[in-house]
Structure 1
Amino acid sequence: MSAVTNAEEIDGIRFRSDMTVELVKHAASDADVIWAARVSTKGESSLEELERDPERSKGLIRFLMRDRHGTPFEHSSMTFYVRAPIFVFREFMRHRTFSYNEESGRYRKLQPEFYVPAPDRKLVQVGKPGKYEFVEGTEEQYRLVVEATKRSCRQAYAAYLEMLEAGVAREVARGVLPVNLYSSMYATCNARALMHFLSLRTRREGSAFPSFPQREIEMVAEQMEALWARLMPITYEAFQAAGRVAP
C-alpha cells in the first residue's frame, strides 16, 4: 500500500497528511475573565483582580460558564498561524467571529504542497445526511484515493506552471488547482469564539450537543484546543465540565 504517513516529495511536489497550527501571539488568561465579570459590581476596582490568583475565583468562572454569561470570555485574544488544505479553510471561515488573513494566489506563486489522507482516515460514509458515520475503507479503496489524488495533483500543478510560464496571470492560472492544495492564514479570536468553534469542530465524549466534524478540520481544532488549554486552564476545565457548550 502506498501510504502517506506525514510527508513525502515526488518530482518536486510535496504530499502530506498533517496540519500546522502555531500560536503566534496572545493576550489570554483566566484573570481576563474575572476582572471583566467583576466590573459589573466593583467598577474600576475590578482591575485589582489582575494581580490576584485566578484559582481563588475558580467558582466564578464555573458559574459564568454554567449559566452562560458569555461576554467576560470575550476579553482575550489569540492569533494562530494555520497551514491546511483550502477545503479546510472554506469550512473554517464559516465561523464569522474569527478574523482571517489568508495567503493569496493572486499575488504569489502557490507552492506544490497537497493533502493526501493518512491510512487511518476513515473513507466510507454510511447512513443518511444528518445521521451518518464514517467507517474504515478497504486497502484497495485507500490505494485508489492516494494514487488518484497524487495523479490529479501532479497534472493540475503542471497545467498551472504551463500557464504561468506562458505569461498568464496568477489569478487566472490558479483556477486549475484543487482544493487539497495547502494554504496558510492567520486566525484571531477570543476565548468565547474559540469555544464555539471547538464545540462544533471536535467530537468528544461527554459533549452536551454531539458534533460530527470533518476529520481534517478537527485535526486543526485539536491543536488549537491544546494550545488554548495551557493559556486558560481554569476556563478550559469549566468548558469541559459544562458539556463543551460555549457560554
Structure 2
Amino acid sequence: MPLTEDQIAEIAELRSTSQPTMRATAPGMEQHLYTAHEVLDHGFVRVIDYMGDDAAIVQAARVSYGAGTRKSRDDSGLIRYLMRHWHSTPFEMCEIKLHVKLPVFVARQWIRHRTANVNEYSARYSILDREFYIPAPEHLAAQSTVNNQGRGEVLTGDEAARVLEFLKADAGRAYDHYEQMLSQEGQQGLARELARMNLPANIYTQWYWKVDLHNLFHFLRLRADEHAQYEIRVYAETICRIVADWVPAAYSAFEDYRLGGANLSGKALDCVRRMVKGEQVTQETSGMSKGEWREFEALLS
C-alpha cells in the first residue's frame, strides 16, 4: 500500500482547506497539490509546494512587470525561443517541492542529480517500514548483450519464478534480521544506524526533493528517456504529467526540443547534409565509430 491511513487522512485534510494568496498560482498545479500519484508497487510522487508559472518565466526573461498588451501566443513563442537557444536562467524562476517514496536503489540513481535540495527519511532515528520493491514478471529481464547498462529478453517460466522467489525471500529474511538486531527480549539490541546496513537495496525510503524548473527539465530529459532504467523512468513520467499541467507552455517546448529532439555531432550533421544531397553514406565513409553509427542509424529510423 503506497499510502498509510494516516497519510491519506492528512492529504484529505490539506486538500479540504485553502488559504487566500496574492501570489501567482497555476490552476493545473493546484489540482495536484498534496495528491499522491502511485508509482511502482509501494511508491508515490506528490506535490508539496511550488512557485511560479509560465508567466514567471516570461517575466524573468523580459525583466518587466505585468502582462501589458502581449498575447499568450507571444509568451509561448518567447518560451520556445528560450528553450531552443538553451537559455536556462528564466526557467530557474520556477520551483517545485515533491514528496517521493521510492526504492533505495532508485534513490541512489536519482541523487546523482546534485542540483536539488533533498531531505531523506532517516534510518538513524526511525525504523524503516517492511516494504520492498518486487518487480512485476514483465519487468524481470536478463542482461542486454549489446548494452552493459540495460536489459535484454524478459525472463519466463521457471527462471522468472526462481528469481522472484530469491527477491522476496532475501528481502524478507534481511528485514527479519534487521528487526531482531534492533531489539529482542532480554537483549540490548543494535543501534538503528548500524542495523540499517543489513537492509536490501529494494527497501523503500522517502524524501522531500526541491528543484527549480531548469534542473528539473534536465532530470526529466535523462530519466524520462526510453533508454533510462524502468524503475526511475516511471517516476520521471509521472512528474512529466504534473509539470505539463503546471507550466504547459514550457513543458510543450521542453517536449518538442528536448524529449522529442536530438543533438547531432558535427560528423552526424555532415552525414545528414550528404544524405540530403543524395549521397550514399555508410559507417566506413561517415567518420564515425561503429557505436556512433549504430546510434545515428537508430536516430534516423
Q: TM-score, normalised by structure 2?
A: 0.68
Q: Give distance in 2, aligned partners of 1:215 and 1:100.
A: 22
User: Which one is further off, 47-56 or 18-27?
Assistant: 47-56
Contact 2:141/2:151 (8 A) holds in 1: no
Structure 1 residues 160 and 68: alpha-carbon distance in aligned structure 2, compared to 1, 3 A threshold: same
1:95 to 109, 113, 118: 113
What is the Cα-based RMSD across aligned positions, in Å?
A: 2.3
Structure 1 residues 196 and 172: alpha-carbon distance in aligned structure 2, compared to 1, 3 A threshold: same
1:179 to 182, 196, 201: 201
Name the structure 1 match of 2:222: 200
SS of the residue corresponding to residue 172 of structure 2 reads helix
Q: Which runs of 5+ in 1 are unaligned?
A: 1-5, 8-15, 40-45, 205-211
- Give the CA deviation at 1:236: 0.6
Q: Give distance in 1, aligned partners of 2:68 and 2:202.
A: 44
Q: Give distance in 2, aligned partners of 1:90 and 1:53.
A: 44
CA shift digits 1:155-183 (9 cap, x unpaired): 11111111111421001111110010000
Q: Matched residues, percent identical? A: 36
- Give the CA deviation at 1:143: 1.3
Structure 1 residues 148 and 50: alpha-carbon distance in aligned structure 2, compared to 1, 3 A threshold: farther
Name the structure 2 match of 1:229: 244
User: Which one is further off, 86-95 or 237-246?
Assistant: 237-246
Alignment of 1:6-85 (within 5 A): 17-39=41-63, 46-49=64-67, 54-85=72-103
Q: Which runs of 5+ in 2 are unaligned?
A: 3-39, 263-301
Structure 1 residues 139 and 164: alpha-carbon distance in aligned structure 2, compared to 1, 3 A threshold: same
Greater RCO between the two (CA within 8 Å, min separation 6)?
1
Name the structure 1 match of 2:258: 243
User: Which protein is bigger by CA-based radius of gyration?
Assistant: 2
Q: TM-score, normalised by structure 1?
A: 0.82
Aligned residues: 220
